[in-house]
C-alpha cells in the first residue's frame, strides 16, 4: 500500500487550518455543560453520522466514532532555595491544555481497524474512516480469530458527572493565591527545604456513536489538589518528602475547599521534619495497619491489574504483563480472607473511572470481583466476553484520547468496608508490634502481579496497641494471595475513602487511565517487610 496519496493534502490542511467556515470549533459542539439537555449536540450527531455512513459504505460490519475535547489545567507554586543561596524563590506555574479531535474504529472482515485526526471536518472524518477500513483489511492477513462483540442496547443520552462548580470557571488568581498560601505555610519553618503545591483539573468532553444506534455525549470533570514538603539533611546526605495527597475525585471546584489545604500544611511541615530524623525500621515480621491513602495502590497493583482479562489471556504480555489469575481460577479461587470483598464499579460517585457509558457504548455497572475472599469475575469489554463464555461486557472499555484505540481498562476497584462499629483505633489497639502506613511510595511488582514490595509516604511504629513515633526506610514484601489472606480487620464505612491513580499506564501505544480505589482501614497481619 502506498502512503503518499493518503495523507491530508497540503490543500486540505491549509483549508482546515485557515479558519474557514467548514471548520467547527470544539466550543461550538461541546458548549456549556450547564445547558446540557438529555440529547447530544446535533452538530456532533451529524459529524458522527458521516463516519458511520462512510464505514458502512466501505463494507464495515461495525463502526464507532468518538469525537472528544480534553482540557487540563495545572497551576501551582514551588517554594525552594535559589541555587547557591538560602534565599527562597517562589516560582509559580500555570498551564491550560486543550486537545480536540476524533477517532474511528471499524470491523471489516472480522478485524479491527482504527484511524484518528485532529481536523474535525466532515471531509476529514470521511477520509479517516476510509483509512480505518484500509487498516482493518490489511490486518485480516494475520488474523488469529474474528472479532466477536457481546450484545449491548443502543442508547441516546447525554450525561454530566456530578459537580457543583466547574473548576475551569474559577479564576486562576484565586487558585494561585490558595496554593501559594498553603505552600508558604509549609515553608514557614526554615528547616523545611522546599514546598510544592499544585491544583490539577481535567475535563473530558466526549461524543460516541455506533452503527448499532448509540449516540452518547458525556462530560466528566476531575479535580486533584496536592501539597508536598521536602526536608534535607546535608550532613547525613538524606532527604525526605511528605505529601498531602488529597483523594483525586470526579468532582468540581467544591472538592478543593473540602481538602483543607491550609489546615494540613502545618501538619505535613511538622511530619516531614520528624520523618527526616526518624530511625530506620528494624527488619522483621510485623502487623500492618494501612490507611486508604496507602492501601489504594496495593489494591490497584495486586487486585486491579491481576483481574484484567486481557492480561490473563496474554494480550498485554509484551507490555503491562500477564496475570497469575488464569481463567481456570474464575469462580472458585481463594484470593484472600473472608473479609475481603472487592467490586469493579464505574457507577460510584466521585470515582475517577465513573461514567454512565464506556467507550464501547455499554451502560456501566458495579460487579463483584472478589466475594468473601473468592475470585468471581474479570474486568471485560465487548470483544472479550465470549472468550470466557460470558454474554455481556462489564463496561470496562476506555481510550484516554480521541487519538487512542479503546481497550480494556480498569474500573474503580474498591474494597468493601468492615463492620460499622470497627474504628481505625480498634485496629491499632489490636496490634502489639506493627507499623501504620500512610500515603503511597515507590513499589515493585512482578509482571504476573504476584510478588510485590510496597513503600509508603509516612510510617509510624505501633507498640502495645499504641501509635508511637515515626519510622523511616520502611517497605513490606509479600505475595498477593498471602497478603490478602492475612487481612484480619477492616474498619467501618465511616472511614471509607477513595484515593486513586490519575495516570495508570497500559497498552501499546501506551495510554493512561484515571481510576479510584476506595477502602477503609484494614489490618493486614503477618506481612513481611524489610
- Cβ count near 480 (within 10 Å): 25
In the complex, least distance from residue 317 CB atom to another protein, rounded to whole angstroms: 4
Out of 9, 32, 39, 143, which residue is the one contacting another protein (CB under 8 A)? Answer: 143
DSSP bridge pairs for 228:
196, 243
Q: Binding string to another protein for residues 22 to 41, with x set by CB under 8 A, is what?
A: -x-xx---------------
446 contributes a contact to another protein by CB under 8 A:
no
* Coil/strand/helix, residue 96: strand
For another protein, which stretch binds (CB under 8 A), given 250-258, 309-317, 332-340, 498-506? 309-317
68 contributes a contact to another protein by CB under 8 A:
no
Strand 215-233 and strand 156-160: the pairing is parallel
For another protein, which stretch binds (CB under 8 A), given 15-23, 46-54, 410-418, 518-526? 15-23
Q: What Å distances lie between residue 87 and 190, 192, 526, CA to CA?
A: 11, 13, 48
For another protein, which stretch binds (CB under 8 A), given 79-87, 251-259, 483-491, 512-520? 79-87
452 contributes a contact to another protein by CB under 8 A:
no
Sign of torsion over alpha carbons 50, 51, 54, 59: negative
* Coil/strand/helix, residue 171: coil
432 contributes a contact to another protein by CB under 8 A:
no
In the complex, least distance from residue 28 CB atom to another protein, rounded to whole angstroms: 11
Q: Are 207 and 41 in contact (CB under 8 A)?
A: yes
18 contributes a contact to another protein by CB under 8 A:
yes
Sequence-separated (6 or more) residues with CB below 8 Å from residue 528: 285, 476, 477, 478
DSSP bridge pairs for 498:
518
- Cβ count near 468 (within 10 Å): 12
Judged by CB under 8 A, the chain residues 89 through 108 that form the site for another protein are 89-101, 103
- Smaller CB separation from another protein, 347 or 477: 477
148 contributes a contact to another protein by CB under 8 A:
no
118 contributes a contact to another protein by CB under 8 A:
yes
For another protein, which stretch binds (CB under 8 A), given 7-15, 40-48, 261-269, 456-464? 7-15
Number of residues counted as binding another protein (CB under 8 A): 84
Judged by CB under 8 A, the chain residues 348 through 407 that form the site for another protein are 403, 405, 407
Out of 30, 114, 208, 219, which residue is the one contacting another protein (CB under 8 A)? Answer: 114
Please report where in the chains the cell 495516570 appears, as a residue: 503
473 contributes a contact to another protein by CB under 8 A:
no
In the complex, least distance from residue 115 CB atom to another protein, rounded to whole angstroms: 4
Q: How far apart are CA 434 and CA 525, in angstroms?
A: 9
Q: Are 289 and 435 in contact (CB under 8 A)?
A: yes
What is the 3 state secondary structure string of 35-86? HCCCCCCHHHHHHHHHHHHHHHHCCCCEEEEEEEEEEEEEEEEEEEECCCCC
Q: How far apart are CA 238 and CA 48, in angstroms?
A: 56
Judged by CB under 8 A, the chain residues 120 through 139 that form the site for another protein are 128, 131-132, 134-135, 138-139
Instruction: Give the angle subtended at the CA of 43 by the CAs of 42 and 45, to the nearest 5°.
Output: 60
The DSSP 8-state label assigned to residue 267 in this structure reads H
- Smaller CB separation from another protein, 237 or 284: 237
In the complex, least distance from residue 463 CB atom to another protein, rounded to whole angstroms: 29
In the complex, least distance from residue 351 CB atom to another protein, rounded to whole angstroms: 26
Out of 59, 151, 169, 173, which residue is the one contacting another protein (CB under 8 A)? Answer: 173
Instruction: Give the angle subtended at the CA of 260 by the CAs of 255 and 263, to the nearest 5°.
Output: 175
315 contributes a contact to another protein by CB under 8 A:
yes
Judged by CB under 8 A, the chain residues 174 through 233 that form the site for another protein are 176, 180, 193, 230, 232-233
Amino acid at each position: 500500500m502506498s502512503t503518499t496519496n493518503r495523507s491530508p493534502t497540503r490543500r486540505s490542511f491549509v483549508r482546515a487550518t485557515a479558519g474557514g467556515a467548514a471548520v467547527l470549533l470544539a466550543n461550538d459542539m461541546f458548549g456549556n455543560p450547564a445547558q446540557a439537555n438529555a440529547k447530544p449536540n446535533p452538530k456532533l450527531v451529524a459529524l458522527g453520522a458521516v463516519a458511520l455512513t462512510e464505514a458502512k459504505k466501505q463494507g464495515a460490519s461495525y463502526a464507532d466514532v468518538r469525537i472528544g475535547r480534553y482540557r487540563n489545567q495545572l497551576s501551582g507554586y514551588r517554594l525552594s532555595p535559589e541555587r547557591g543561596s538560602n534565599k527562597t524563590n517562589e516560582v509559580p506555574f500555570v498551564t491550560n491544555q486543550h486537545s480536540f479531535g476524533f477517532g474511528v474504529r471499524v470491523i471489516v472482515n472480522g478485524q479491527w481497524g482504527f484511524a484518528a485526526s485532529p481536523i474535525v471536518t466532515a471531509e476529514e472524518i470521511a477520509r479517516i474512516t476510509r483509512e480505518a477500513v484500509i487498516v482493518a483489511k490489511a490486518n485480516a492477513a494475520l488474523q488469529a480469530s474474528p472479532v466477536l462483540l457481546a450484545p449491548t442496547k443502543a442508547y441516546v443520552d447525554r450525561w454530566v458527572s456530578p459537580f457543583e462548580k466547574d473548576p475551569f470557571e474559577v479564576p486562576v488568581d484565586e487558585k494561585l493565591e490558595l496554593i501559594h498560601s498553603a505552600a508558604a505555610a509549609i515553608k514557614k519553618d526554615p528547616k523545611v527545604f522546599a514546598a510544592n503545591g499544585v491544583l490539577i483539573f481535567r475535563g473530558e468532553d466526549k461524543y460516541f456513536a455506533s452503527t448499532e444506534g448509540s449516540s452518547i455525549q458525556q462530560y466528566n470533570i476531575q479535580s486533584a489538589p496536592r501539597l508536598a514538603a521536602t526536608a534535607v539533611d546535608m550532613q547525613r546526605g538524606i532527604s525526605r518528602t511528605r505529601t498531602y495527597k488529597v483523594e483525586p475525585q470526579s468532582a468540581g471546584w467544591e472538592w478543593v475547599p473540602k481538602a483543607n489545604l491550609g489546615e494540613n500544611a502545618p501538619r505535613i511541615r511538622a511530619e516531614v521534619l520528624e520523618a527526616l530524623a526518624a530511625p530506620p525500621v528494624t527488619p522483621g515480621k510485623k502487623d500492618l495497619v494501612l490507611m486508604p491513602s496507602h492501601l489504594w495502590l496495593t489494591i490497584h497493583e495486586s487486585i486491579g491489574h491481576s483481574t484484567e482479562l486481557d492480561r490473563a489471556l496474554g494480550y498485554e504480555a509484551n507490555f503491562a504483563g500477564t496475570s497469575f489469575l488464569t481463567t481456570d481460577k474464575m469462580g472458585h479461587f481463594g484470593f484472600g480472607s473472608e473479609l475481603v470483598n472487592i467490586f469493579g464499579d464505574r457507577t460510584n460517585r466521585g470515582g475517577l473511572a465513573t461514567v454512565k457509558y464506556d467507550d464501547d457504548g455499554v451502560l456501566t455497572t458495579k460487579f463483584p470481583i472478589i466475594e468473601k475472599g473468592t475470585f468471581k469475575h474479570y474486568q471485560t469489554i465487548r470483544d472479550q466476553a465470549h472468550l470466557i463464555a460470558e454474554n455481556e461486557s462489564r463496561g470496562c472499555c476506555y481510550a484516554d484520547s480521541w487519538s487512542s484505540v479503546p481497550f480494556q481498562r480498569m474500573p474503580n476497584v474498591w474494597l468493601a468496608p468492615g463492620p460499622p462499629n470497627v474504628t481505625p483505633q480498634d485496629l491499632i489497639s489490636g496490634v502489639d508490634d506493627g507499623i501504620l502506613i500512610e500515603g503511597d511510595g515507590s513499589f515493585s511488582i512482578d509482571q504476573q502481579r504476584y510478588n510485590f514490595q510496597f513503600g509508603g509516604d509516612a510510617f509510624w511504629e505501633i507498640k502495645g496497641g499504641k501509635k508511637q513515633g515515626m519510622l523511616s526506610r520502611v517497605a513490606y514484601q509479600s505475595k498477593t494471595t498471602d497478603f490478602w489472606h492475612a487481612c484480619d480487620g477492616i474498619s467501618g464505612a465511616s472511614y471509607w475513602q477513595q484515593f486513586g491513580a490519575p495516570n495508570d499506564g497500559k497498552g501499546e501505544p501506551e495510554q493512561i487511565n484515571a481510576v479510584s480505589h476506595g477502602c477503609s482501614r484494614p489490618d493486614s497481619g503477618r506481612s513481611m517487610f524489610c
